[in-house]
Structure 1
Amino acid sequence: MVTIEEALNSIKSQETTSKVETKPLQEVLGLALSEDIVAPFDMPSFDNSAMDGYALCGLYLEYEIVGEVAAGDTKETALKDGEAVRIFTGAKVPASASAVMMQEKTKVQGNHLFLDEMPKAGQSIRKKGAELQKGQLVLQKGHVLNPSSLGLIGSLGLDIVKVISKPRIHMITTGNELVKPGQPKKEGQIYESNSFAIAGALEQFGFQCAQQLQVKDDFEETKKSIQKSMETCDVLIVSGGISVGDYDFVKQALEENGVQELFYKVFQKPGKPLYFGRKGNQFAFALPGNPASSLTCFFIYVLPLLQKWSGHTDLGLPWYRFPLRHDYENRFDRPSFLKARVTSDGAQILDGQGSSMIQSMALGNALAFVELGEKFKKGDLIKCKLIS
């Protein structure tokens, strides 16, 4: 059995063989850059107006209006001292302009412009290179592309990007007692839910489950299903069958398929019977079958591996500290991840902490972490990972 820290160190230290792809800009949201992006030119590439108004030559209260410059105009406009031109947001500012005055602080009579206040040198002019200079690092390798990133890259004139592809993920759920939702259920059976929860968690963080299988608690069937999945997947997630019962065949089936155990069992609650292994450039997780345990292990352990494979530099959900809304003492026999809800008032540990209870996780939005025997008073800060 390993500690939480040892398990995470094992996962984060794994070398991965991620694939680099060149994709159109509209297809790279959520992917990580495989190389740095540097500015190919100054940004802005010319002095331009920050607002609709008038470009002024000299600093006075009265000017003669001699023309207009619209956004996109490429002509050079020369201004003499005391002259002004109507200008629009984003338009190129004449080289001799001293400032731009917003139109709300002006009055026009014929071709004469009157200002409500004295302009200041350089006001409302976006200077060439003020945001980025040619050759400057814009985004580092490993940056995960968000909508703003796409806009930034597009503003640099780039329409294709080199990114790191995400892993191909397969999932297997095990259990004789499992029945697919929508089918009739007999006494002693339960509806299978972990595949929906894990697939949803994958999608929440930008990943997809390419294949899902459900197998009975049968060694040969489990072994063959793992073999079939590992023919094409990068990461295999198995739910259930990893404990020490007479019908828990997953660990043996993984190892007979050539998967090398990296750790088995973590000193924590819930999710103690967690397995992590590797076969060449493939990885396998075997998660506990109880729904809350399975999801907890996904958020804490599976996600960092998927992120590393995908080229992310920040691995795992970040920790935050929130004031606890009530007293709490960890009476469990292990360090624990607790289903919690965080609001503007702080964090609340929810009822229903059993590993089979998923309603409390559905109503919550965080996992709070408490060490073995740790005690909290109302208002104490507690560590949490936000899961939704």
Structure 2
Amino acid sequence: MVTIEEALNSIESQDIISKVETKPLQEVLGFALSEDIIAPFDMPAFDNSAMDGYALCGLHLEYKIVGEIAAGDVKEVPLQDGEAVRIFTGAKVPSSASAVMMQEKTKVEGDTLFLDEMPKAGQSIRKKGAELQKGQLVLQKGHVLNPSSLGLIGSLGLETVRVFSKPNIHMITTGNELVKPGQPKQEGQIYESNSYAIAGALEQFGFQCAQQQQVKDDFEETKKSIQKSMGTCDVLIVSGGISVGDYDFVKQALEENGVQELFYKVFQKPGKPLYFGRRDNQFVFALPGNPASSLTCFFIYVLPLLQKWSGHKDLGLPWYEFPLQHAYENRFDRPSFLKARIASDGVEILDGQGSSMIQSMALGNALAFVELGQKFKKGDLIKCKLIS
């Protein structure tokens, strides 16, 4: 059995051969850059107006209007001292302009412009290169692309980018007692839910489950299903069958498929019977079958591995600290990840902490962490990871 820290170190220290691909800009949301993005030109590429108004030559209260410049006009309009041109947001500012005055602070009579206040040199002009200069580092390798990143890259004129590929993920759920939702259920059976929860968690963080299988608690069937998935996948997630019962065949089936155990069992609650293994550049997580345990292990352990495989710089969900709404003492026999809900006035530890209870996780939005025997008073800060 390993500690939480040892398990995470094992995952994060894995040497992974990541794949790289070139993709269109509209298809890379959530991908990590495989190379730095360097500015190919200054941004803005030219002095432009920050607002609708008038470009002014010289600093006066009265000007003669000599023309108009719209956004996208490429002409150069020469201005003499005391002259002004009507200008619109984003339009190129004449090189001889001293400032831009917003239209709300002006009055026009014929071709004469009157200002309500004295302009200041350079006001409302976005200077060339003010945001980025040619050759400047824009985004680093490993940056995970968000909507703003896509807009920024598009503004640099790039229609494709080089990114790390995401892993091909397969999932196997095990259990004689499992019945697919929508099918008739007999006494002693339960509806299978972990595949939906894990697939949803994958999608939440930008990953997809390419293939799902459900197998009975049968050694040969389990072994064959693992063999089939290991033929094509990068990461295999197995749900259930990893404990020490007479019908838990997953660990042996993985060994017979050439998977090297990296750790088995973590000193925590829930999710103690967690398995992590590797075969060449393929990785396997065997998660506990209890729903809350399975999801907790995904958030804490599976996600960092998927992120590392995908080239992310930052691994795992970040830690935050929030004041506790009530006193709490960890009476479990292990460090624990607790289902919790964060609101504006702090964090609440929810009822229903059993490893088989998933309603409290559905109603919550965080996992709060408590050490073995740790006690909290109302208002004490508690470490949390946001899961939704």
Task: Give me the TM-score of the superposition, normalised by structure 2.
Answer: 1.00
State the one-letter code of the partner of 1:152.
L
1:233-265 deviations in whole A, cap 9, x for unaligned? 000000000000000000000010000000000
CA distance in 2, matches of 1:233, 1:371: 36
CA distance in 1, matches of 2:222, 2:157: 51
CA distance in 2, matches of 1:88, 1:162: 36
CA distance in 1, matches of 2:303, 2:52: 47
Q: Which residue number in structure 1 is paired with residue 301 of structure 2?
A: 301
State the one-letter code of the partner of 1:135.
G
CA distance in 1, matches of 2:73, 2:195: 57
Task: Give me the TM-score of the superposition, normalised by structure 1.
Answer: 1.00
Q: Which residue number in structure 2 is paired with residue 131 of structure 1?
A: 131
1:44-65 deviations in whole A, cap 9, x for unaligned? 0000000000000000100000
1:54-93, aligned counterparts within 5 Å? 54-93=54-93
State the one-letter code of the partner of 2:60.
Y
Q: Which residue number in structure 2 is paired with residue 109 of structure 1?
A: 109
CA distance in 2, matches of 1:365, 1:26: 30
Segments of 4+ moved more than 4 angstroms: none
Structure 1 counterpart SS, 2:246: coil
Q: Which residue number in structure 2 is paired with residue 232 of structure 1?
A: 232
CA distance in 2, matches of 1:348, 1:106: 55
Q: Which residue number in structure 2 is paired with residue 376 of structure 1?
A: 376
Structure 2 counterpart SS, 1:303: helix
1:274-293, aligned counterparts within 5 Å? 274-293=274-293
Q: Which residue number in structure 2 is paired with residue 30 of structure 1?
A: 30
1:349-368, aligned counterparts within 5 Å? 349-368=349-368
Q: Which residue number in structure 2 is paired with residue 185 of structure 1?
A: 185
CA distance in 2, matches of 1:159, 1:180: 43
State the one-letter code of the partner of 2:387.
I
Gaps of 5+ in 1: none
Q: Which residue number in structure 2 is paired with residue 166 of structure 1?
A: 166
Q: Does 1:249 align with 2:249?
A: yes
CA distance in 2, matches of 1:38, 1:282: 33
State the one-letter code of the partner of 1:287.
L
CA distance in 2, matches of 1:342, 1:147: 26
CA distance in 1, matches of 2:292, 2:29: 30
1:316-370 deviations in whole A, cap 9, x for unaligned? 0000000000000000000000000000010000000000000000000000000
Q: Which residue number in structure 1 is paired with residue 346 of structure 2?
A: 346
State the one-letter code of the partner of 1:48.
N
Gaps of 5+ in 2: none
CA distance in 2, matches of 1:291, 1:78: 71
CA distance in 2, matches of 1:327, 1:77: 70
CA distance in 2, matches of 1:106, 1:15: 64
CA distance in 2, matches of 1:235, 1:255: 16
Q: Percent identity?
A: 90
User: Displacement, 1:27?
Assistant: 0.8
User: Displacement, 1:205?
Assistant: 0.3
User: Displacement, 1:18?
Assistant: 1.2
User: Displacement, 1:15?
Assistant: 1.2
Structure 1 counterpart SS, 2:66: strand
1:288-342 deviations in whole A, cap 9, x for unaligned? 0000000000000000000000000000000000000000000000000000000
Structure 1 counterpart SS, 2:295: helix
Aligned-residue RMSD, C-alpha: 0.4
1:175-230 deviations in whole A, cap 9, x for unaligned? 00000000000000000000000000000000000000000000000000000000
Structure 2 counterpart SS, 1:32: coil
1:36-51, aligned counterparts within 5 Å? 36-51=36-51
Structure 1 counterpart SS, 2:289: coil
User: Displacement, 1:17?
Assistant: 1.3
User: Displacement, 1:16?
Assistant: 1.1
